Structure 1
Amino acid sequence: MKALMFLVLSSLCATAMADQTPTDVAQQQPVVEEYTYSTHLDIAKVVSMSEVPNVCEVVPAKMEYDDSKGQRHILRYSIMGNGCTN
């Protein structure tokens, strides 16, 4: 009887923890911000930048960075590709 009660309670705990996991991950994921000329940038540390493709046109790029308060940001901006020869 004790073993059965233990299994029931442990399965309820596992279900409750599984329900909380997606909301915790969603809260940790920063919102993607669009860059404009009036955007104030507070970049303390660049975490990652997307690769610039080898094309001769304007392409979207992303930069992930931490600000001076330690908060993570993702910035989307436009950049000229590396494929132009002139």
Structure 2
Amino acid sequence: MNTNTLYAACLFAALNICTFSARAEADVTPQTYTYGTHLDIQKVLAMTQDAGASCGIVDAQLTYLNSQGKTETLNYRKFADCHSDN
């Protein structure tokens, strides 16, 4: 096996690993929070909210790792982060 073939095989293997992990992240099904929902949060990865209203209730999303290291997503409603100029 020459070096070019070896380099191509290594590159192909690395790309497959990256593609596999990206597919695993894309398979996350968001769960909607309700009162009493059991949350198994080991590490918070991201917190986002809709940019609609400046104040009031908005939709938000929490992306986190559970205790098994699996990525989970939780949809919930919250008061927007309101900033006053006073």
Range of TM-score over shorter length: 0.5 to 0.7
**Which amino acid is 2:76 matched to?**
Y
TM-score by length of 2: 0.57
Is contact 1:32-1:76 (8 Å) kept?
A: no
TM-aligned CA deviation for residue 40 of structure 1: 2.7
Question: CA separation of 1:35/1:79 partners in 2, compared to 1, >3 Å: closer, same or farther?
Answer: same
1:23 counterpart = 2:20: yes
Identity %: 17
Paired residue for 1:57?
56
Q: Structure 2: 5+ residue runs without aligned partners?
A: none
- For the structure 1 residues 39 and 33, does the alpha-carbon distance in structure 2 shift closer, same or farther, using more than 3 Å as the test? farther
CA contact (8 A) 1:50 1:62 kept: yes
State the number of aligned residues. 81
RMSD: 3.5
Letter in 1 for 2:62: M
Query: 1:44 Cα deviation (Å)?
Result: 3.8
Query: How many Å separate the matches in 2 of 1:35 and 1:41?
Result: 11
What residue identity is the alignment partner of 2:65? D
- Unaligned stretches of 5+ residues in structure 1: none
Work out the CA distance in 2 between the residues paired with 1:22 and 1:78.
33
